[in-house]
Amino acid sequence: MSTAATPPLDRFSMPDATGHFGPYGGVFVPETLMTALQELAAAYEKARKDPGFLNELRQHLKEFAGRPTELYFASRLTEHCGGAKIYLKREDLLHTGAHKINNALAQALLAKRMGKKRIIAETGAGQHGVATAAACAKFGLECVVYMGAHDMERQALNVFRMRLMGAEVRGVEAGQKTLKEAINEAMRDWVTNVRSTHYILGTAYGSHPYPMMVRDFHRVIGLEAKEQILAREGRLPDELIACVGGGSNAIGLFFEFLEEPNIRMTGVEAGGHGIKRGEHAARFAGGRLGVLQGCKTFLLQDANGQIELTHSVSAGLDYAAVGPEHAFYRDRGRIEFAFATDDEVLETFQLCSRLEGIIPALESTHALFHAVKRAKALSKDKIIIANLSGRGDKDVQQVAKILGHKG
């Protein structure tokens, strides 16, 4: 990428009025949903400038979700690496166990303001479904969660959690019976019930205004981290690292720092079994430009544009497309991308548990793997912040099974 021709960055200028981040993003939905998206964009535009909305949201994030989260110095992991200091942004300590509650609470509050009494959502592993079910229970909203039948089997405990909190979980039998099909069903529901219903999308993806809105609802991660590192170290960090599924926890951490030229930012994708067709979910390692589920972006596809199968040990990163804002900043050379394979992740999962007494989500462990690698390469006066996007309790059964097989 040539930097000479690149105009100075203004992070607030993205997306443009048509919902584009450069060539990425936009609106690709059936005619019947155009009005709903415009209505949502207008409602959000009002809410984001309304101190009443922002104060109420801040209060719920504090009392219900548990913000602010700590910025934790991982001393033994740091010592183990022998280089840069590793700090962990502890989103794993939030209610329901991951960063997803930031967005679910905010969108539920917005839906309430819009007079919508019914919420729908998609979920893959069930983390976004659980966060949405919790937010809906809190606000007394009807909640329907679409989930692939295959995922329902794999994540039975999360299905039970959602049902306990009053949500209806609808199994989707189409195709691979996973996240992509669940999103299709949620879109279909929305087309039919658009007057009464708000669709709480779970990541910085889809048609405008979702990528922007979800990003904004996670900006609190970076805002807190900036304040915390300045208080603790008296300066900004050298590197930021986060895992990237759709991209919400990563852009939430990165956004506040985008205009700081000396901070290196890396998004870590799922390398699965390695970069072979159908064996991973590293869109920037094997993907190209296309349109999927409302959004133009980098995606894994075959020569005819059919969506490729994906694989990752972590369900939350196992998606064929990536949020449009990440594609934009990658082109500019502002955010770099790496990947971690299943084996690397399983090793780091055990390392972090053993050294820090923290069991990380498999998704977050992708970021930790890269943080460990970078810490080893950097000198002791450098500082890395890695986003610990969620806790790993949900993953221990799966890991036990895999490690058992390996002896």
Ligand X SMILES: *Cc1c(COP(=O)(O)O)cnc(C)c1O
Catalytic residues: 100, 122, 389
Instruction: Provide, rounded to whole angstroms, the least separation between the CB of residue 102 and ligand X.
Output: 10
Question: Please, are residues 349 and 391 in contact by the beta-carbon 8 Å criterion?
Answer: no
Closest CA to 389 of 197, 241, 173, 209: 241
C-beta of 294 vs 316, nearer to ligand X = 316
Instruction: Provide, rounded to whole angstroms, the least separation between the CB of residue 242 and ligand X.
Output: 7
Structure tokens at 277: 């067709």
Closest CA to 146 of 116, 115, 180: 180
- From CA 311, how far away is CA 320, in angstroms rounded? 9
C-beta of 111 vs 322, nearer to ligand X = 322
Question: Please, are residues 318 and 311 in contact by the beta-carbon 8 Å criterion?
Answer: yes
| Alpha-helical regions (H) of 234-323 | 248-254, 283-286
Structure tokens at 48: 């984001």
C-beta of 313 vs 378, nearer to ligand X = 313
Instruction: Provide, rounded to whole angstroms, the least separation between the CB of residue 31 and ligand X.
Output: 28
Where do contacts with ligand X occur on this chain (CB under 6 A)?
98, 100, 127, 203-204, 243-250, 316-317, 361, 363-364, 389-390
C-beta of 145 vs 378, nearer to ligand X = 145
Instruction: Provide, rounded to whole angstroms, the least separation between the CB of residue 337 and ligand X.
Output: 12
C-beta of 89 vs 177, nearer to ligand X = 89
Instruction: Provide, rounded to whole angstroms, the least separation between the CB of residue 92 and ligand X.
Output: 7
SS3 19: coil
Question: Please, are residues 101 and 94 in contact by the beta-carbon 8 Å criterion?
Answer: yes
Residue closest to ligand X when measured from CB atoms: 390
Q: How many CA atoms lie within 13 A of 271 on its CB side?
A: 19
